[in-house]
């Protein structure tokens, strides 16, 4: 249903990038669930079909990702770059993703962190997305001239594993402890049955969120790491600290 003439404008979308079909859900699925349930549109861009994984065929993993995105209230598209376990940082890739940024015109973008001690595709995709966010602003990029430039509000990095959490960036902590958010996030992770049945990924992510929540004085919390300093309109927007234990 389209909003009426007197309805408030729809929030600008959230765009999340993942190197593999399950990265977004495991790394920041609770954040996505929180945003979509607050009325923000969300779209996933997955840059491989998980073809190098030890468990699950590509067709199965694509189907799992589609079901998982729907559970989080997001739409999803797949982009062919170099393939699973073969991703390289290239200007052509950054321009391709910049084109997606111009088409979807998000306010916020989520991407894997740049920490090297993780699957190499994760850190490399984070760098590509960072470059794409900058190129999307430039009006003179020849390959992008068919669409108007777009500047995002903020790029946030997420950590798929504890080892991928940046130590040089102060995180933003989001409370994802509402029961309906935890339930949707859990269901979305479990939808990746080929991966969840192989290792205890779901338990790991819920435990991370529970521990961060305990430290912040809430039930469950997730961390995002801003690429740029966050600008606030008022100190009232930053009145809670994460020292609750």
Average pLDDT over the chain, rounded to whole?
94
The CA radius of gyration of the chain, in Å to the nearest whole number, is 18
> Domain segments of the chain: what residues?
14-238
Query: What digits encode the pLDDT tens for the residues 135-147?
Result: 999 999 999 999 9
CATH dotted code for 14-238: 3.40.50.10320
> Does the pLDDT value for residue 113 go beyond 70?
yes
> Does the pLDDT value for residue 160 go beyond 90?
yes
pLDDT at position 1: 45
Kindly list the distances between the CA atom of residue 46 and the CA atoms of 1, 20, 65, 123, 134, in Å, as whole numbers in the listed order.
Answer: 27, 6, 9, 14, 20
Specify whether the CB–CB gap between 131 and 184 falls below 8 A.
Answer: no
Query: What digits encode the pLDDT tens for the residues 16-45?
Result: 999 999 999 999 999 999 999 999 999 999
pLDDT at position 2: 54
Give the percent of the chain with pLDDT over 90: 87
């Amino acid at each position: 249903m389209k909003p009426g003439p007197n309805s408030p404008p729809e929030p600008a979308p959230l765009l999340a990038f993942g190197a593999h079909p399950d990265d977004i859900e495991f790394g920041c699925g609770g954040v996505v669930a929180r945003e979509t349930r607050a009325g923000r549109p969300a779209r996933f861009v997955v840059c491989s079909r998980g073809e190098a994984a030890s468990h699950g065929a590509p067709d199965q993993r694509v189907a799992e990702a589609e079901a998982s995105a729907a559970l989080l209230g997001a739409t999803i598209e797949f982009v062919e770059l170099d393939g699973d376990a073969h991703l390289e940082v290239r200007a052509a890739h950054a321009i391709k993703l910049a084109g997606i940024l111009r088409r979807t015109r998000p306010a916020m973008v989520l991407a894997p962190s740049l920490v090297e001690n993780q699957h190499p595709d994760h850190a490399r995709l984070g760098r590509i997305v960072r470059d794409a966010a900058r190129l999307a602003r430039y009006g003179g990029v020849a390959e992008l001239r068919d669409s108007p430039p777009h500047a995002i509000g903020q790029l946030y990095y997420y950590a798929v594993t504890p080892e991928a959490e940046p130590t040089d960036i102060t995180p933003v902590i989001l409370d994802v402890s509402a029961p309906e958010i935890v339930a949707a996030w859990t269901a979305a992770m479990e939808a990746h049955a080929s991966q969840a049945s192989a290792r205890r990924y779901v338990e790991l992510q819920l435990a991370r969120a529970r521990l961060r929540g305990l430290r912040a004085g809430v039930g469950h919390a997730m961390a995002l790491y801003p690429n740029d300093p966050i600008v606030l309109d008022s100190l009232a927007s930053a009145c809670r600290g994460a020292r609750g234990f």
